[in-house]
Structure 1
Amino acid sequence: MKFKKLFLILLLSVCSQLKAQEPLKEGSVLDNIVLKNIDGKTYDLNAQKQVKGFVLVFMTPSCDHCILYEDRVIALHKKYKSLGYPVVAIGPYGDNAVKYPLDALPAMKEMAVKKGFTFPYLSDENFKYTWLLGIKKTPTAVILKKQTKGYLIKYIGQIDDEVDPSRKPQNKFVEQRLNTLINKV
């Protein structure tokens, strides 16, 4: 009998840990993000008072697809920052220059300076937010809507449906979601 109770407690414990490791999805609430920016300072979403939300873009300097999207990410920031949804880029490999020298903080900074990024480019520590948000490829966008406590995840996915910057996308997923959000407010 004691063995069965112990086994049941152990099983429940393992199941709850597995559930806790599931990535957040659209409709979930993210408490906050606090990470190191390429300027060496800490960037805290909660410290940004004049926003309605954020467009997080997970991107890396060496990813061919990310390179093709750099100008579109810059355009998103220019268009939506004044509407309350600035871009915040996040480099999944930013904190590990030994294993990922082409995608770590120095490479991120070089790319941001070269392209003239006017938005933060944060280094994800130990893939914390990359895993928490279920990011499996770059670039991936996440739209967050600011709430009283935390940020409601409104979208996780592609920026649009056309990798080739010389062709016009049929669907601009991030813009469509943002326009819907902004028009509802």
Structure 2
Amino acid sequence: MKAFSSVFVFLLLSLNVLAQSGYQLGQKVADFTLKDANGRQVSLHDFAGTKTVVLVFTNNLCPYSKLYENRLVSLNNTYQNRGVRFLFINPAIGAEDGETVADMAKKVSERNYTFPYLADEGQKISQQFGATKTPEVFVLHGAGKDFILKYKGAIDDNPQLESGVKDTYLRNAIEAVLNDRNVQAFDKRATGCLIKKY
């Protein structure tokens, strides 16, 4: 019985560690550099001095990402003149059933994205942040040259139907950071496609 208890405690601790992977709220985020859909290098520190950066882990193959795309583009258009920068990051590049950079470039061209769409080849950045789904968002507060994680998780409470949304988690988090207020709902579990590790 004692051995069983020890194994049970070990499993609980292991699950807790897995759940805590990636940055935790309030932590400083390390700089990173990825290539965009056109092969240009984009770094987080390129946005130093920006009050808010929203990282969106997404890909063109996930049905949930498709459902949220217009909402995210609309949020970008609403907030880009208020000092908010959106970065789309694709963790499915290079996977056997994933996308190519050419697929990303086609999407940027078709949708006329006004924000960088970055290829997370090797999934280093999605793992660094602890992103597990697409789409999943991370709101960073710019503090001088540093960025602090203020929100992670879901975009809103209704992936299926935009008109049925009651809680706009991402919009609320952006507004809170822009207005130097605490984010009330700061860690809402994202609904989406699991990011397959490869």
Does TM, normalized by the shorter one, top 0.5?
yes
**Greater gyration radius:** 1
Gaps of 5+ in 1: 1-17
1:181 aligns with 2:177: yes
1:146 aligns with 2:128: no
Post-superposition shift, 1:147? Answer: 1.9
Contact 1:89–1:120, Cα closer than 8 Å, also in 2 = yes
* Structure-to-structure mapping, 1:1-185, within 5 angstroms: 22-94=21-93, 96=94, 99-101=96-98, 103-184=99-180
Write the letter of the residue equivalent to 1:141. Answer: V
Give a deviation string over 1:5-29, Cα, whole Å, max 9, x none: xxxxxxxxxxxxx89x931121111
* Count of aligned residue pairs for this structure pair: 164
Post-superposition shift, 1:120? Answer: 0.3
Higher mean C-alpha deviation, range 146-155 or range 172-181: 146-155
Write the letter of the residue equivalent to 1:51. Answer: T
Post-superposition shift, 1:115? Answer: 1.8
Write the letter of the residue equivalent to 2:85. Answer: P
Percent sequence identity is 26
Determine the C-alpha separation between the residues in 1 that align with 2:155 and 2:122.
Answer: 24
Contact 1:55–1:143, Cα closer than 8 Å, also in 2 = yes
Write the letter of the residue equivalent to 2:126. Answer: T
Post-superposition shift, 1:162? Answer: 0.9
Give a deviation string over 1:65-118, Cα, whole Å, max 9, x none: 001111111011111111111110000022x1x6234x2312222222222211
Q: Secondary structure at the match of 2:164?
A: coil
Post-superposition shift, 1:64? Answer: 0.3
Equivalent position of 1:11 in the other structure: none
Higher mean C-alpha deviation, range 159-168 or range 118-127: 159-168
Give a deviation string over 1:130-177, Cα, whole Å, max 9, x none: 111111111001001112342100011011111124523111101001
Aligned CA-pair RMSD = 2.0
Contact 2:35–2:119, Cα closer than 8 Å, also in 1 = yes
Determine the C-alpha separation between the residues in 1 that align with 2:67 and 2:21.
Answer: 30
- TM-score under structure 2 normalisation? 0.76
Gaps of 5+ in 2: 1-16, 182-198
Q: Secondary structure at the match of 2:156?
A: coil
